[in-house]
Structure 1
Amino acid sequence: MASPPVTELTSRARDIFRLVVEGYLDSGQPVGSKTLAQRGDIELSPASIRSVLGELEAMGLLAAPHTSAGRMPTEMGLRLFVDGIMQVAEPTREERAAIEKQLSDPGPIERALETTSALLSDLSGLAGMVLVPQREQRLTQINLVPLDDRRALAVLVGEDGHVENRVLDLDGPLPPSALQQASNYISSRLAGRTLAEAARTMQAEIASGRSALDEASRQLVEAGIATWSEDAARRPVLIVRGAANLLDESALSDIERVRSLMDELESKQSVAQLLDSAREAESARIFIGAENRLFALSGSSVIAAPYRDREGKVVGVLGVIGPTRLNYARVVPMVDFTARSLGKRIG
């Protein structure tokens, strides 16, 4: 059921609704008419406020827990609040500086992704998530170095100067000429290609007998292709940090919800698919509770934003996950700013 447009609320109802939602998000407790009357923001009696609260409840925007006379927002109410009423609070100067400083490290992109996930967790107090870019490093050179009789080290050099190492298992000792021939053969087929693209070309050439490699060099190239293919298949698509932040006192009082949330986070492929659905968003996208089937049981919210390279191309998605009762006004712009900062780092 979609939430009603905010224009359907009178200014009085909108003010009361906003105060209830903000009070609940701040304290985690239902907000009653007496509390609202004592604030002094609304010049209405508790009885008049109760009448408006009842109208908002009838619209499905508020709910009254059986243990309290106060009201709290429903998921539909939270959707109305974040889409039409919430006033975001941009990250502070200190927070922006911290984000930019953490992401200024010129090291490998994998380290930047790990840093981003942990950074989001630390700043938001939630669990941070980063979807690894759906692209592969384009390489310019591969050098094969013997380690011992049954292992060789493949040194992979990327276009951006980034260097990665892979250990290849060998069937037995190989002459240095085989290592050199295999290195030259592989490097000559890397121009403008990813390793996976070059591997497919090499496989086709070897299968058709067009490789011009001797037996020892061919075996080494095939060992490399097998290792790199396996490595790509196991490469994580999602980095999650700070899941322990979700185990606060309020969460521990509802252990089934916590168990559901942890189970959902374990299903990284499903979470990655959810984040990936935000790739086309212009800014942060908010998923609240049962709006998304994946987190329907745990009643969790996800805030996700795509991050782009300098050309404006979306290369991944980052975000946070936490309870539906979170500080949306603070976290949404923080996720947006972090996405822009990571995009600058990727280049």
Structure 2
Amino acid sequence: MKILDWYILKRYLFTFLMMLLLFIPIAIMVHLAEKIGKILSNDVPFDELALYLLNFTIYFANLLFPLFLFLSVIFFTSKLANNTEIVAFLSSGVSFTRFLRPYIIGATIVAIMALFLGMFLAPKASQGFNEFKYKYLSRGKNIQDTKDVFRRITDNDIIYVSSFDPKSKRGQNFTLEHFKDNKLEYKIFANNIKYVEEDSIYQLVNYYKRTYDSIGNVTVEEKRNENVEFSFDVDDLTPVNYIAETKPYGELIDFIDKEKKRGSPNIGRYEVVKYKKWSLPVSVFILTIIAVAVSSIKRRGGMGVNLAIGITIAMVYVFFDKIFGVLAEQSDFSPLVAVWFPNVVFGILALYLLNNAKR
């Protein structure tokens, strides 16, 4: 049976790699054709463009990794079914579960690749991809939340800025509240705040500080201008929207914990990225089983029918994945449920199709 295992496993991995090599260059050409005007008008250096395309390749492959695998398994398994090879395997006394074993081995290899890609390679590629995109292709688009910034910067300090410009590092209507033992100790107001990078200080205009003592007395301090050293970094005030995608898993966990303490409104968005790093490898097994169950039967319409069924299932999977992902990012819907719901639904479908295929 090792011959059968190696035969299917080689076809599994080879077809998957060929699918990647086929679709990724097409995706690059389509993307270049769409963006070539902006690339030329912005005089993008060739080395930056080449690095961007490399990052785009990794970003695109990570995004559609399971779907490429799904279609490749349907393609080569349908060929086996049309050539009656599967009938020969099963007629020789091989059970359908035993026939499925090399597929599971192949899925394990691909899942490990997907896990490594999502944990380490994809974050770096995503950072380069997004930085190039917003530098040359999407100028003027707001990539940071700069209005009504409200954050807990330490266990005792909470800040608020009505508006903040990351480029000039200036903010309007700044407030800082400092607590000690759950009691307000002092509060700082300023009409304007500016970060001076050379001195690592903040310049406050129309500075006003109100201090409260233990018996309720209030001391007021007012100044036209005041230079203050705060414990927070200016980049922490308004992190870019895609920052979670750019962090390896360990850094992402620390970042989310820090953002929760700061009261960030984007926790749902960050946790969707975290959970997808684990759900993606699991989806490899689910989609592999579905693909084998759908395409192992020889149909009157041949491979075209199997591919049509496979593409339909893939579109529904992507629909569920995107809809629930956006729902978690834009509302209070649980990110854990949103990310894993498609896998649960399609996992049940995989078991149902597998039981029918065994019969």
Question: Per the shorter chain, which TM-score range?
Answer: under 0.3
Give me the TM-score of the superposition, normalised by structure 1.
0.22
Give me the TM-score of the superposition, normalised by structure 2.
0.21
